């Protein structure tokens, strides 16, 4: 099937949506280049933080952006054909993407792309998700389309209590880690920027205490919200790589994107967590809970109050910083 030449405006719009993907501390560690009729995705090494040993979090972030790009282009009428790691001598070159026309853009294609702009990382407590069986069925269908690179496990109540203990342990193990805390303070600094996590997206100490499986951020002075929800009653998912290779770690990011967008379309709130997999001791606990040796990402899925004000989207880098059209 012949490749389709895509207009720069379509590419710009799709990359704009792709960059709404979640990333580690909102670092946005990606770089897009259009060259010779193809779109290329690279890890931006300058955006890989010091505590991301081995660059796993950057890869997961780029995987989420890659799946968001695929979704955005489908809504624009183009199917993405992805060649993963096309240059064996350049591990920063994640993918080369070409496109062919889709016969018909369905309402499903459009709804999934719309979900990119609706999705938010919500760190507040959730009520229990509604119609979990229906959601899980649709989620697994979406995840299955990614390929055989990652697994998604739903955690039961016993496993959740073990994850809650692991979350507390991860904080204790990092209590005196100056580099980690300096990094956290940098990426949550209370000034207007195009990256990082704004204070409006963080939680107060009281709100954090009601979420048993979460990450501790610098304390804010927000008034306590969702008091009526009480303690967090979310369902927790764990996404694990099937093999300890770059392609499967990247695939965990693609899988994360599929889970988050499916949840958003179902009207569910989500919060992505990696703190339990960043420390070896707590990563081992997560592995014991799932029975899988390579856990990468956790996701809380639940229900937020329907009448609650939707928070503003977190900032993103200007398109001019992340997208280049090569003239070579």
What b-and-e string marks burial along 291-318, b requiring 16 or more CB atoms within 10 Å of the CB?
A: ebebbbbbbbbbbbeeeeeeeeebebbe
- Could you tell me the CA-to-CA distances from 226 to 87, 125, 208 in Å, in that order? 49, 7, 12
Whole-number Å distance between alpha carbons of 85 and 91: 7
Q: What is the pLDDT of residues 74-114, one digit of tens each?
A: 999 999 999 999 998 999 999 999 999 999 999 999 999 99
- Per the DSSP assignment, residues forming a β-bridge with 268 are none
As a whole number, mean pLDDT of residues 295-314 equals 90
Q: Looking up tokens 């900032």, which residue turns up?
A: 315
Neighbouring C-beta atoms of residue 77, cutoff 10 Å: 16
Return the closest-CA partner of residue 50 out of 184, 226, 162. Answer: 184
- Could you tell me the CA-to-CA distances from 272 to 94, 228, 288 in Å, in that order? 22, 23, 20
What is the CA 46 to chain-centroid distance, rounded? 19
**Predicted local distance difference test score (pLDDT) of residue 192:** 57
Whole-number Å distance between alpha carbons of 151 and 51: 25
As a whole number, mean pLDDT of residues 116-131 equals 95
Q: CATH number for 8-120+316-325: choose from 3.20.20.70, 3.40.109.10, 3.40.190.10, 3.90.550.10.
A: 3.40.109.10
Contact 323, 259 (CB under 8 A): no
Q: Is the pLDDT of residue 193 over 80?
A: no
Say if residue 81 is exposed, middle or buried (CB neighbours under 10 Å; 0-12, 13-18, 19+). Answer: middle
The CATH fold assigned to 132-302 is NADH Oxidase (3.40.109)
- Return phi, psi of residue 90, to 5°: -135, 95
As a whole number, mean pLDDT of residues 32-44 equals 96
**Predicted local distance difference test score (pLDDT) of residue 57:** 96
Lowest mean pLDDT among 41-45, 213-217, 288-292, 320-324: 213-217
Q: Looking up tokens 């956790």, which residue turns up?
A: 298
- Could you tell me the CA-to-CA distances from 142 to 107, 255, 265, 282, 327 in Å, in that order? 16, 8, 12, 29, 37
Contact 129, 234 (CB under 8 A): yes
- Percent of the chain scored above 70 by pLDDT? 96
Return the closest-CA partner of residue 289 out of 125, 165, 139. Answer: 165
As a whole number, mean pLDDT of residues 259-270 equals 97
As a whole number, mean pLDDT of residues 171-180 equals 89
Q: What is the pLDDT of residues 198-210, one digit of tens each?
A: 777 778 788 888 9
> Roughly how many angstroms between the first and final C-alpha of the chain, as a whole number?
25
pTM exceeds 0.75: yes
Whole-number Å distance between alpha carbons of 139 and 60: 19
Instruction: Locate CATH 3.40.109.10 in the chain.
Output: 8-120+316-325, 132-302
């Amino acid at each position: 099937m012949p490749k389709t030449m895509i207009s720069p405006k379509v590419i710009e719009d799709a990359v704009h949506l792709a960059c709404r993907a979640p990333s580690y501390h909102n670092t946005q560690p990606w770089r897009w280049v259009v060259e010779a009729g193809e779109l290329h995705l690279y890890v931006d090494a300058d955006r890989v933080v010091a505590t991301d040993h081995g660059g796993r979090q950057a890869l997961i972030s780029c995987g989420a952006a890659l799946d968001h790009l695929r979704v955005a282009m489908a809504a624009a009428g183009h199917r993405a054909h992805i060649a993963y790691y096309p240059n064996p001598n350049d591990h920063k070159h994640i993918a080369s993407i070409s496109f062919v026309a889709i016969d018909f853009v369905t309402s499903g294609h459009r709804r999934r792309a719309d979900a990119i702009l609706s999705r938010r990382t919500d760190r507040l407590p959730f009520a229990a998700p509604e119609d979990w069986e229906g959601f899980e069925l649709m989620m697994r269908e979406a995840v299955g389309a990614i390929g055989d690179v990652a697994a998604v496990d739903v955690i039961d109540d016993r496993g959740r209590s073990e994850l809650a203990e692991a979350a507390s342990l991860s904080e204790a193990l990092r209590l005196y880690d100056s580099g980690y805390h300096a990094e956290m303070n940098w990426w949550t600094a209370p000034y207007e920027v195009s990256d990082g996590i704004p204070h409006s997206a963080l939680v107060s100490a009281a709100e954090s205490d009601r979420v048993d499986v979460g990450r501790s951020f610098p304390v804010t002075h927000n008034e306590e919200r969702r008091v009526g929800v009480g303690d967090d009653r979310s369902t927790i998912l764990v996404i694990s790589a099937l093999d300890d290779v770059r392609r499967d770690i990247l695939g965990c990011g693609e899988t994360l994107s599929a889970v988050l967008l499916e949840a958003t379309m179902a009207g569910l709130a989500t919060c992505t967590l990696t703190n339990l997999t960043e420390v070896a001791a707590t990563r081992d606990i997560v592995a014991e809970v799932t029975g899988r040796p390579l856990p990468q990402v956790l996701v809380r899925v639940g229900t937020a109050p329907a009448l609650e004000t939707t928070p503003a989207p977190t900032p993103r880098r200007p398109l001019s910083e992340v997208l280049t059209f090569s003239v070579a």
